[in-house]
Structure 1
Amino acid sequence: MTTYLQERTLFPPLISGKPSPLLGIVVVIPCYDEEFLLLSLMALQRCDRPCCDVEVIVLINDGEKATATIKSSNHLTFEQACRWVQINSLPHLRFHILYKSGLPEKYSGVGLARKIGMDEACYRFEKAENPSGIIACFDADSQCEKNYLQAIERHFAEHPKAQACGIFFEHPLVGFDFDTAVYEAITRYELHLRYYVQAQRWSGFPHAWQTIGSGMAVRCEAYQKQGGMNRRQAGEDFYFLHKFIPLGHYSEITSTKVIPSPRPSHRVPFGTGKAVGEMLKPGGTCLTYHPRIFEDLRLFLQRDIYGTAPSKGLLAGLPESIQAFLEENQFGEKWQEIHGNTSSSEAFMKRFYRWFDAFMLMKFVHYARDHFYPFTGVEEAARWLLRTAHHWPAEKAKRADARAMLMFLRKLDLLR
């Protein structure tokens, strides 16, 4: 048994049966107060069969302070899912329904649930003697295209150096399952997500990727080597994937897609469900980061960061937002440290972006928002991006609504 499984897991193996020796993919689904879990399981059941065998692990969970209503909902979901699994599990596609109740309140949430499920996937691959098996993350209210499993299998076969990847996603923008206001809200929120990442790319930041919990996959051995999943109650996907993105060979599967739910949710303190819920309130709107933040960032990242020390004018003439932020974070000392431990521009920049990583970039964005450039409307910000980065005529950008701009940005992400 690996060191990780001996020292870093929270529970011993929860599934007793032997896995198939052909096990190649384990899909992990955290589930909390979810009445439509079976729809997600059916979506996976409808998938075209890959060459390897597949297991699906559902981790129904609640915390020690969960209400009786939540626990009753989880028990009902557990019973329904167990009955469904008895009928629908196949030798090449097995479903396992686990229920962990009364988890420590300090950590109880989606990160901990993913960790327990992903650790269990590692136990399964350990028993199957397949350390390079693939763990895919999905959500209990998500759907996927029929080629989802095949696309994941193919991606890792064609990219043997890949340790982890994202999976392209699209929220539904129309339909009969939700009110029109929900679809309008998710259109603007997904526009915010894509604007934010595209603006980072335009600024020159090399590690700008979407990080969606229902759309990511990782090799079992890489998962363990990087310390597994964190226990954050929200944003766990961002922090998890950015362990792998700077390592190289990271990409996004665009030959299939995950379809996350657009609904409002109380499950997490921030994220999609929370944002949609806020937009549905009277006077609610979708705000995003001001374009000036990325203009300032671009001016900095275009400088000769390797060849010019901060003390020799690297920061001279840069916007105040960048200068103040870097000074507050002791960039001069960090530059000297990096320069003293590297002997080439390539090595310097690689090490620089270990420091100025996605977390530091987010810290700058929030600093600039709080001290220089307040939030702005997402549609206006997206219009700036399309005019500036993609050369849309001003009149065309002015006429474009949120959906038209989102569809364009989706196409760009598919081409990356």
Structure 2
Amino acid sequence: MKPHDFQKYLRKNPAPQLNHTGFTRFVVIPVCDENGYIDATLAGLAAAPGIERTLVVLVINHPANASPERKAANAGLTARLEHGTSPLPHLAYFTAFDLEGGVGRARKLGMDACLATLTPENVEQALFWSLDADSPVEPEYFTATEAEFDRHPEYAALSIRVRHQPGETPELERAIREYERYLDNYVERLRQAGSPYAFQTIGSAFAVRATAYLRAGGMRVREGGEDFYFLQAVAKTGKVGTLGRALVHPSPRPSDRVPFGTGPSVRKLLEGGAVPEIPDTPFDGLKTLLAAAARPGALEEPAKFLAGLPAPIRQFLTQNKFAANWPQVLANTPATGEARLAAFHQWFDGLKTLRLLHSLSDNR
């Protein structure tokens, strides 16, 4: 990481100042009306070996239109923290009231604040963990993650497996296990198709190298889905691995604080709805496309490449202007098969993958 790039990012992304220096391990937790959950999460972190050299950063936030009860809950937690009631050896927090940009903005403020405590010399060693306030962790949370990064220096980020807490009712328990099955099935079928985007994107369960965070341009500012878009950006500049052990236990509660994700999906299941399962046939189409792109020389001539694809896939790529954009990509890519395939995966990213699957599902 060039010092110029590091300083340029900090200038473009001012963040709250933390009165803590010397750390290269950080956990960032957005907090919005979480008084019923935050204590268990902090206690779990406090019991995890490695916490003694880790700074935990809480971003206590709510939007301007938050309910009076939500604002009061955040004010109460802030007052409690001001009196030093925390089991953690190193805790920082700041408030972001009347916040625009939702949980994505809160995560970004926290991670940018951590980044600002680093130097060009130690940023190469720094790690950020992304967690939620309702998500206690296993004791191996830090040690297992660091060991996986040590074993795989090529990993820019790690998606950490989750196992949601038990539902308080039989109906909630069935709903959360159905949602977990849906998520796991989607990622497994991506893996079988050969997609480099075959990993979970859950905001409470990933870790990222600070250098990869910088290369990806920082956390995405979105009301929801910030984890998906951020990890997709990381995967375009490095590899996102998966830590298969369930080290994070999010709450299964239904929620309306984000437009999509676990909370709204669980609510839908409890109301008798279903998750939007994609059939197997579209994944076969995805596998066909990715295998075609991986053939030696296949990406050198876009018209010839398109002509060899099944009609629905060809139509999708045409609608997304592949033939118009690809010559420019080739002009800026080294003339090797490996570089061109990597460029294809950057263009045909996780979002286009999902859109192709839906397109093929609609046109079955």
- TM-score, shorter chain, exceeding 0.5: yes
Structure 1 residue 129 displacement after superposition:
5.0
CA 1:87–1:215 in 2, change beyond 3 Å: closer, same or farther?
A: closer
Partner SS for 1:165: strand
Structure 2 partner of 1:49: 50
User: What are the within-5 Å matches in structure 2 for residues 268-279 of structure 1?
Assistant: 268-279=258-269
User: What are the within-5 Å matches in structure 2 for residues 262-273 of structure 1?
Assistant: 262-273=252-263
Name the CA distance, whole Å, in 2 between partners of 1:220 and 1:153. 13
CA contact (8 A) 2:223 2:258 kept: yes
Name which of 307, 312, 323 aligns with 1:332. 323
Identity of aligned residues (%): 31
CA contact (8 A) 2:25 2:128 kept: yes
Structure 2 partner of 1:408: none
Structure 1 residue 285 displacement after superposition:
2.4
CA 1:315–1:77 in 2, change beyond 3 Å: closer, same or farther?
A: farther
Partner SS for 1:44: helix
CA 1:366–1:158 in 2, change beyond 3 Å: closer, same or farther?
A: same
Name the CA distance, whole Å, in 2 between partners of 1:253 and 1:317. 35
Which structure: larger Rg? 1
Name the CA distance, whole Å, in 1 between partners of 2:71 and 2:305. 60
Instruction: Tell me the amino acid that sits aligned with residue 111 of structure 2.
Output: M
Structure 1 residue 314 displacement after superposition:
4.4
Structure 1 residue 316 displacement after superposition:
4.5
Unaligned runs of 5+ in 2: 1-5
Name which of 172, 175, 181 aligns with 1:185. 175
Partner SS for 1:143: coil
Q: Which consecutive segments of 4 or more residues in structure 1 shift more than 6 A? A: none
Name the CA distance, whole Å, in 2 between partners of 1:288 and 1:203. 16
What TM-score comes out, normalization by structure 2 length? 0.88
Cα distance per residue 1:213-247 (max 9 Å; x no partner): 11111222332232211111111011111122233
CA contact (8 A) 1:165 1:217 kept: yes
- Equivalent residues, number: 354
Name which of 292, 317, 323 aligns with 2:314. 323
Cα distance per residue 1:289-340 (max 9 Å; x no partner): 122211222222233483374544743461x431221121222334444455
Q: Is 1:284–2:273 an aligned residue pair?
A: yes
Instruction: Tell me the amino acid that sits aligned with residue 88 of structure 1.
Output: P
Instruction: Tell me the amino acid that sits aligned with residue 13 of structure 2.
Output: R
Name the CA distance, whole Å, in 1 between partners of 2:157 and 2:114. 15
Structure 1 partner of 2:68: 68
Name the CA distance, whole Å, in 1 between partners of 2:230 and 2:324. 28
Q: Is 1:163–2:159 an aligned residue pair?
A: no
Structure 2 partner of 1:117: 110
Structure 1 partner of 2:38: 37
Structure 2 partner of 1:5: 10
RMSD over aligned Cα, in angstroms?
2.5
Structure 2 partner of 1:398: none
CA 1:38–1:87 in 2, change beyond 3 Å: closer, same or farther?
A: closer
Unaligned runs of 5+ in 1: 374-416
CA 1:88–1:111 in 2, change beyond 3 Å: closer, same or farther?
A: same
CA 1:123–1:278 in 2, change beyond 3 Å: closer, same or farther?
A: same
What TM-score comes out, normalization by structure 1 length? 0.78
